[in-house]
Each structure stands twice: as structure tokens, then as C-alpha cells.
Structure 1
Amino acid sequence: MINHFYKAAGAIVLGVFLVSCEPKSKESVEEPEQEQVFGTTFQNQKVETYEIKNANGMNMKVTNFGARVTHLWVPDKDGNLVDVVLGFETLDGYLASGEKYFGAAIGRYGNRIANGKFTLNGEEYTLPQNNNGQTLHGGPGGMDYVIWDVEKSGENGLIFSYTSPDGEEGFPGELKVKMIYTLTDDNEFKVTYEAETNKATPVNLTHHSFFNLNGAGNGTVLNHTLQLNADKYTPVNEVLIPTGEVASVNGTPFDFTNATKIGERIDQENEQLKFGGGYDHNWVLNKTGNDLTQAAVISSPQTGIEMEVWTTEPAIQFYSGNFLDGSITGKGEKVYELRSAFCLETQHYPDSPNQPNFPSTILEPGEKYEQTCIYKFGTK
């Protein structure tokens, strides 16, 4: 295994429990009910929902459409359960939304690839351009927009599998992907990834939940306090492609080495903030190996909920919900306003296939891509 792909650390899945979207009881697995509530088919494939819980009452609903997390209830400082991810109650909500990545698995390549092109082993590949002339999150038909196979794994885990055929969205090689979603009794939402290919191809998988620790749709996240274990970030150009520089955060609005409110500097006069409409950048984590390490800590003073992010990856994308604009109505008929969510996507660097000074994301036949991401919840 080449050194830029990381072994999943201690990924022991304890199990899964399948229920309908409106469960009658722990024993209920009646699929027609879940379909009637969430949706029937997508591209002639059955859309289903699943619910997993841990021993503390933490509860998550997911769907095989894009392996999306639709609900995630975690306890607040008073012991009340709060749904902290943005999303919809029905499949139609996801299909009609102008923001297509709510809660989704992202691949083959998370983040952007410049001009939808890269060259590998002397051959140029052309991808669909779906974001200002760039390819974003694997293209418009990426892994967020497919039906995954789902298996049980005990009482509180789900195994998602998908085979991306050679040439899908322009990428070379057949790529077999497996992800395990687990709710541990330490209040962790844990994602472990594996992938194998039969032809050299870029791979950069990640998870794209839109979080609001005040509760989904409950105002902005500007009052959230964020700390990132990163002294450097990768500046971007006006279409959010890295310039190739790895710059210090010192003395900039990108310095979250100490816990800082998201809204404290987000509207400062700064070219990088202007390009992103706020924060939409890749931070380079303070690490040299592939160990599972803490990347971020974020908390809400309103609910007292704190979320730690742990990863084996070398970087993390922090996005402050800049393209939410109040045009989307989600769960509970709540409107998703500007900056009403944040994303923390553990990853390799954006545009790595075109940036030789960035860590490689090329997976070769016979190698195995492995990584782990953990979102751990508590209160403070």
C-alpha cells in the first residue's frame, strides 16, 4: 500500500438495525412504509431508509440514495436530542434542492479538479464541468447521486458498497468502494472507507453532512466556536482552485489554531474570503503520518453540543455554508439561510492530480485505499 492511503484505525463495527422511516417498533422492517414516506425509486432503483442507534440514544437515519445521512440526533447540554444535520424528509426534497450534497458520500474525487481535466500515465482525461468550469465532488453523476448497496453489520452499523464502472464521470478504471457507517457507544459517527481499482485512477473520498449544532434550520452557525489543528492552508484563485501555494494561517482570518467564532472574521476585507464568499478552503493538518488524529473541534454555546473531527487524512475542507441563500426549505419546514450550516470534510488536497507538489491521490491496481473519519459528539 502506498503511503498516501491510510489504514482504518480500529474499525470494529458493532452492528445495524433496519427500520422503516416511520418505525413502528424495533422489529419493524416493512419496506413499503419507508418508501411511501421517503420516495419510491431513483433511476429505476428502490430507495430505502435505515435507522441506527447507540446505547446512549444517539440516533441516525440514512438512505441508500447517495449514502446520505438524513437525520442525526445527538444529546445537548440538557440531555435533549437535537437533529444536527440539514436535509429533507423525502427523496423529492433532495432531488429538487439546488444544493445537492446534503449528507452525502462524495467521490470519486472530493473537492475540485481544475478545468475538468488531468493527465495520468501520459493520457489526458476529461471530466464533466459542474462548478464554474471545474469538476466538483466527482461530477454531476458522482457517488452522491447513485444508489448504494446496503448490508447490516450488527446492531449499530451499515455497510455501503458501490462499484463505479470504468469511465464513469470520465474517470479511468473500475473502482469498488466500501464504506462502513457506525454509531459507537462513545457517541461517535464513524466512517471507514475502502476502495480498489483495476486501473490507475485518482481517489479522494469524503463525507458531506451540513452540520448546525444549534439544530438543523435553527439560525446561522456564526456563533459556533471552531478550532483547527492546522497551521497552513492552500489559497485558491477566483474559481476556488488551489494556486499551489501552502501558506501560513498566521495573521490571517484563516487562523483557527485557537478556538474562534466562525463569524468573528468571516466578513473581513480579504481576497481569499471574497473568492469563497466566506470560508471554503482546504486546511493542511499538523501531521506527517497516517495516524488517526484530531483535526477539528467545534461547539455551539446555544446547545452546548461539541463535535470533534478525527481523521487519517492529511487535510480538511472547512465550508461555512456560503451558498445557502434562504431558497431551500428543509426538515420541519425550516428555511436554510445563508451560513446556516458548516461542513468539515476530511480529505486529500483539492486538484491534486494537477498539482505535483501536493500529496498524490493516485490509486494503483493491487493497492487498497483505506481511511477513517470520526465525528465525535459531546457537551461542554
Structure 2
Amino acid sequence: MSSHLAFNRIIQQDFGQLTSGEFASLYTLTNANGMQVKITNYGAIIVSIFTPDKTQRLTDIVLGYDNVADYEADNYYLGAVIGRYAGRIHQGKISINGQQHQLTLNAPDSQLHGGKQGLNKQLWRAKTSENADTACLTLSYTSPDGEQGFPGTVNFTVNYHLNDNNELIVEYLAKTDQPTLVNLTQHSYFNLAGHNSGNVHSHQVAINADYFLPMNERAYPTGEIAQVDHTPHDFRQLKALAQDIDADNKQIAIGKGYDNYWLLNDNAISVQAFAAQVVEPNSGRRMTIYTDQPSMVLYTANYIDGSHIGKNNYCYQRRAALCLEPQRANNKEKGVTLDNTLLTPTQPFASTTRYVFDLIES
């Protein structure tokens, strides 16, 4: 399809009813090459991404569900925007300017990914726009003071842009009326061979990072900043996940695969600079991530257990996908501290991540 032909860059349709009685919508963004991204305003969730393989066959490359009811029941955070705080907060206890706050707990000893009713479980307001080469979906949600225990009323906006260069650009904005914590990320589960293609062991991954954060037995960063050199966590060159994903290594054992933070190198922290890349050799698909965030989680879906039926009645199994989650929770200057994620009324949060989809040269 050439760009001068008229076509609908954005189509809205019903995506089902929530237990609240509200209805969610599904928005399909299409570019001139036929690439499609489907997003629901429930949880600002990416439901599908259809990209071509080396034979130009379009395939859906993210895990997900066929209706909003399944997303409401989902506990894997498939495709969701995660917040207010992506990651674990020990005992749900935070201190801001000397004042203590108790967050709601949704894990045995922590608040995980913003709590039981985090941003991924909210219905966002939606607005669409398009121009000559881009479709844009703008999703907004106002999180009230005290939601899940967090102080401050925060206005969140996520812009999804799909352009004719096969780029999906995600912009995050947050404004607060009092000091609070915000750490946002996108939690899509990618399988570049197709969402129903088994495990991702053959995927090759590169991360532009010399350092990563070891975790303790309870999956909290220890505070140590470790070099990736001579460890299974060295992804400075493209490497098949299968090479080290079951290595005899304490960090691999704790995560049951990969599940750590990498601290991006200075030359990676820019929407113009390479942060991470994934290649699936059989299909020829390649995804390159550019971000202005200082850290990245690589998670290899180690806890998916076959109990969830996804799109097209496919049963997702362990390591059926990988997540690459840019975020600002940790950096090389301050290491691991909640102070990295402080949001104040005078300093709104703004961040951009680009996902570029293309093919390797055969």
C-alpha cells in the first residue's frame, strides 16, 4: 500500500465490557506499509503489533488477549503501561520529604507495579489524531490523591505514534500537585516469530550496557552495581538467549531466567541512540529500542505457567516472550534509590521511547 492512497490510519471499535459496567475501546493504528498496532484504552495496553517478516507476511508479535475481560483478569501485565511505580517497593513503604506513606500491597512483601489497581487496571480517556505519515492515539488518566497509597493527584498522558517508517513512538507525561513517586514503563511481551510461536530462546538480544543490578533472593536489587563482563548478563553484542538463559549462575537461578535491571551506557540514553535490539533469525524481524531512560529491564517471561489462554485460543507457556522495559528507577550516578523517581509540581515528567521494526539483511 503506498502512502498516497487513502486509508484509515485509525479505526475504533468496541473491546468489551468491564465489571464496572464501563466499555473499553480498541484502536487500530495502521501505517502506509500495512503495519498495525492495536491498543485499548483499558490500561493503555498494546494488544497487537503486526509487522512483516522477510517474506512480507504480517504476523502479530506481542502476547495478549482477545477481549478486555481477559485483560481485567490478567496478572502478567501483558502489554500494559505500568505505574505509578514500575517494579517492587519493599513493604510498600516510601518516604517523601520526611513524610512516610504506606502503599497498598499486592505481593507478599511489596507493592508490585503500582498496586492491584495500578495504571494497567484503569480506563483511560482517548483522543485520536493523524497527519500525512503518522497515526497518534493519546490516552489520559487522572490518578487521585491517595490512589494505591501514593500521595498527590497525578495527570498521566501516554501518546502512541505509529509512522510510515515502521516506528512506534511512545511518549509519557506526568504532572503532579504534590511531591510523589512516578516510574513508568511499557510492559509488552515480544515474540518476533509470532505471539503463538513457542519460546524465545532463539531470539538474539543486545543491550547497550556495561553494568547490571544483581538481585537478592526476594528479587530486590542488592545495591551492588556489577559489570556484565564475563557474566551471562553480557549483551553488549547480539547473543541468542539460549546461550546463557539456563546458565549455572545465581542471578539466573533467582530470576528463573533473565529478570534484572541493566544500567544503560551514557551513549545509549537518547531517543537517537541505540539502547537495545532483538533479532529473530528465522523470520528476519528486528526490533531496535531507543530511549531517554537510564535503565532497562530484560525479563524473559519466566513466570508464565500455561494457565492463561491468550489470543486465538493459544496457551502461553514459560518463556513465550521477552520484555524490554525502559525506566528511570535506577541509574549509574545514584544506583538504586527511590529518589530517582521523585516527581514534583515544578518538575513534570516527560519521556520518549522509540521502537523501530525492520528486517535483517538476508
TM-score by length of 1: 0.87
Asked whether the 8 Å contact 2:263–2:331 carries over to 1, the reply is: no
Aligned match of 1:110: 86
Q: Distance in 2 between matches of 1:356 and 1:211?
A: 27
1:107 Cα deviation from its structure 2 partner? 0.8
Other-structure match for 1:378: 358
Equivalent position amino acid for 2:67 in 1: T
Structure 2: state its 5+ residue gaps. Answer: 1-7
CA contact (8 A) 2:329 2:337 kept: no
Which residue does the alignment assign to 2:17? 40
Q: 2:282 aligns with which of 292, 297, 302?
A: 302
* Aligned with 2:300 (options 320, 323, 329): 320
Query: Which letter maps to 2:23?
Result: K
1:219 aligns with 2:219: no
Aligned equivalents of 2:247, 2:30: Cα separation in 1: 42
Is the 8 Å Cα contact of residues 113 and 350 (structure 1) preserved in structure 2?
A: no
Counterparts of 1:73 and 1:289 in 2: how far apart (Å)?
A: 27
Any idea what SS the aligned residue of 2:138 has? strand
> Which stretches in structure 1 are left out of the alignment for 5+ residues?
1-15, 21-33
The equivalent position to 1:187 in structure 2, one of 136, 143, 166, is 166
Q: Is 1:171–2:150 an aligned residue pair?
A: yes
Does 2:58 correspond to 1:81? yes
Are 2:232 and 1:256 aligned?
no
Contact 1:279/1:318, CA 8 A, preserved across alignment: yes
Alpha carbons 1:132, 1:239 under 8 Å: kept: no
Question: Which residue does 1:142 correspond to in 2?
Answer: 118
Aligned residue in 2 for 1:237: 216
Q: Which moved more, 1:178-187 or 1:288-297?
A: 288-297
What amino acid is the match of 1:317? V
- The answer for the alignment partner of 2:244 in structure 1 is 265
Match of 1:334 among 314, 317, 323: 314
Deviation readout 1:175-206 (Å, 9 max, x if unpaired): 11111101111111110111111111111111
Q: Which has the higher contact order (CA 8 A, sep 6+)?
A: 1
Displacement, 1:289? 8.8
Distance in 2 of aligned mates of 1:147 and 1:95: 11
Rounded Cα–Cα distance in structure 2 between residues aligned with 1:204 and 1:248: 24
Q: Among residues 51, 66, 78, which one is paired with 2:28 in the alignment?
A: 51
Q: Which segment drifts farther, 151-160 or 61-70? A: 151-160
Q: Please state if 1:19 is matched with 2:4.
A: no
- For residues 242-261 of structure 1, the C-alpha deviation after alignment (integer angstroms, 9 at most, x for no partner) is 11111101111101111111
Question: What is the CA–CA distance in structure 1 between the aligned matches of 2:269 and 2:280, rounded to whole Å?
Answer: 30
Cα displacement (A) at 1:355: 6.8
TM-superposition CA deviations, 1:311-337 (whole Å, max 9, x none): 000010000010011221111111111
Pick closer, same or farther for the CA change 1:53–1:18 going to 2, 3 Å.
closer
Shift in CA distance, 236/322, structure 1 to aligned 2, threshold 3 Å = same
Deviation at 1:44, TM superposition (A): 3.3
SS in 1 for 2:251: helix
SS in structure 2 opposite 1:39? strand
| 1:291, distance to aligned residue in structure 2 (A) | 3.0
CA displacement, residues 48-92 of structure 1 (integer Å, 9 cap, x when unaligned): 111111111110111111011111101111111010010011112
Tell me the alpha carbon deviations over residues 112-139 of structure 1, each in whole angstroms, 9 at most, x when there is no partner: 1122111111111111222331111111
> Matched residues in 2 for 1:171 and 1:340: separation?
33
Kindly report the root-mean-square deviation, in angstroms, between the aligned alpha carbons of the 2 structures: 2.1
Shift of 1:302: 1.7
**Higher mean C-alpha deviation, range 38-47 or range 121-130:** 38-47
SS at match of 1:294: coil
Q: How many angstroms apart in 2 are the aligned matches of 1:81 and 1:331? A: 16
Identity %: 39
Q: Could you say what secondary structure the match of 1:153 adopts? A: strand
Question: Which structure shows the bigger proportion of residues in strand conformation?
Answer: 2
- What is the DSSP-based 3-state SS (H/G/I as helix, E as strand, rest coil) of the residue aligned with 1:308? strand
Corresponding residue number in structure 2 for 1:69: 46
The verdict on how the C-alpha distance between 1:247 and 1:351 changes in structure 2, with shifts beyond 3 A counting, is closer
Structure 1 residues 356 and 243, CA gap change in structure 2 (3 angstroms): closer
C-alpha deviation, 1:277, in angstroms? 1.0
The reply to whether residue 198 of structure 1 matches residue 177 of structure 2 is yes
- Partners in 1 of 2:323 and 2:18 — Cα distance? 28
Query: Against the structure 1 CA distance between its residues 243 and 356, is the aligned structure 2 distance closer, same or farther, given a 3 Å change threshold?
Result: closer
